[in-house]
Amino acid sequence: MVIAMRKGCPKSQVAKVLAAIREFGLEPRIISSDPRTVLAVVENMSRARAEEIADSLRDMAGVEEISSFDQSWKLVGRYFRGEPTVIEIGGLRVGGPEVAVFAGPCAVENRENFQETARAVAKAGAGGLRGGAFKPRTSPYSFRGLGEEGLKIMAEAREITGLPIMTEVLTANEVELVARYADVLQIGTRNMQNFALLEAAGETDRPVLLKRGMMATIKELLLSAEYILARGNWQVMLCERGIRTFETETRNTLDLSAVPLLKQYSHLPVVVDPSHAAGKRELVPALAAAAVAAGADGLLIEVHPNPDQALSDGRQSLDLPGFAGMMRNLAGVASAVGRTVREATP
């Protein structure tokens, strides 16, 4: 249930309501304090018990309204937090006026390639670096990343460019290690419903990019995000990366309707990965522009100095000039919908 306190009510009244909720053996959450305090109880309970609690609170001083959750996701819902969440990652704000662009290779292959890419995308206007140190591959014989050495290479690139780094974590046991190096933890499509991993990520202080499963519904994505928020980490970005359909001309089908739907249902920022959706680099700029037009708060773009020689996902990776050109084109689209992208630096 959600308990909305009257605007401007004294803290003493809020404290009494909190104490009354705890007397029922429940732990209330303060989900908003400005412009008015909003409390929530997220534990599962019977309708009769919920009504009993609501009746006991309704006449307390300062209580303006009590309502029940009408959807199975609670903390991620827009009715739970009316204002959009903005996530601070270094000097980058995801969910604000700027469309945040994370760019880099699918996999960190070596120091030289990654540093070359990092410098180039930073110059072109990227706000963050992406790259894989631990790679979940369809084939066990494909290149699966450099592990901790890859994390160290990414951290070095952060020192050079000043840009935050995002990388994927595959298991709950690896969360602590990856969080030691990365600014953002990425949970990939295959792990969207790895609930132990979601909960482990929820116990960190690192922002999390949660990718939609390749065959997952919007509701399933929101429920997966709920696992993270329920553990105390509210810094979650929802990522649409294409879903499997009967179409075979692209790697996946980019569900652009997910962007406005997620922003309608949830207060969390929405990011789009056109690279994995398309699977073909020549389609990436158009899909990126469409995502920005649809309201995306950020983009994930795969970039490689020599895509034809990439050890992972080269076919969908832009080369360095291609990324710079895409960023120039995005500026006009972003401006048309009241957003901005970072300008290239000389």
- Confidence at residue 161, expressed as pLDDT on a 0 to 100 scale: 97
pLDDT value, residue 31: 78
Give the span between the Cα atoms of 225 and 153, in whole angstroms.
29
Q: What is the pLDDT of residue 139?
A: 72
pLDDT at 40: 86
Residue type, 86: V
B/e letters for 283-320, b = 16+ CB within 10 Å, e = fewer, are: bbbebbbbbbbbbbbbbbbbbbbebeebbbbbebbbbb
Place of tokens 């895409």: 326
pLDDT of residue 13: 96
What pLDDT shows up at residue 35?
67
On the 0-12 / 13-18 / 19+ scale of CB atoms within 10 A, 202 is: buried
Q: Where are the domains of the chain?
A: 2-67, 87-336
pTM over 0.95: no
First to last CA, the chain: 53
Query: How, if at all, do strands 38-40 and 29-32 pair?
Result: antiparallel
Residues 6+ apart with CB under 8 A from 153: 108, 110, 111, 114, 115, 133, 146
Each residue's pLDDT, cut to its tens digit, for the chain (346 residues) gives 889 899 889 999 999 999 999 999 999 988 777 667 888 888 888 889 999 999 999 999 999 989 876 667 778 988 778 889 999 999 899 999 999 999 999 999 999 999 999 999 999 999 999 999 987 766 775 666 789 999 999 999 999 999 999 999 999 999 999 999 999 999 999 999 999 999 999 999 999 999 999 999 999 999 999 999 988 899 999 999 999 999 999 999 999 999 999 999 999 999 999 999 999 999 999 999 999 999 999 999 999 999 999 999 999 999 999 999 999 999 999 999 999 999 999 8
Identical fold, 2-67 and 87-336: no
The CA distances from residue 31 to 2, 6, 14, 96, 343, in Å, are 9, 15, 13, 20, 35
| β pairing state of 87-89 and 236-240 | unpaired
pLDDT for the residue 117 = 98
Quote the tokens at residue 95: 């969910």
pLDDT at residue 142, as a whole number: 66
C-alpha distances in angstroms, 8 versus 2, 15, 232? 18, 14, 26
Counting every residue written for the chain, the total comes to 346
What count of other Cβ atoms lies within 10 Å of the Cβ of residue 34? 8
CATH level 2 (architecture), domain 87-336: Alpha-Beta Barrel (3.20)
What angle, 0 to 180 degrees and rounded to 10, lies between the N-to-C axes of helices 47-58 and 11-23? Answer: 150
CA dist 339 and 93 (Å) reads 13
Please name the amino acid found at residue 303: V
2-67 classified as CATH 1.10.12.10: no
| CA dihedral sign of residues 175, 180, 185, 186 | negative
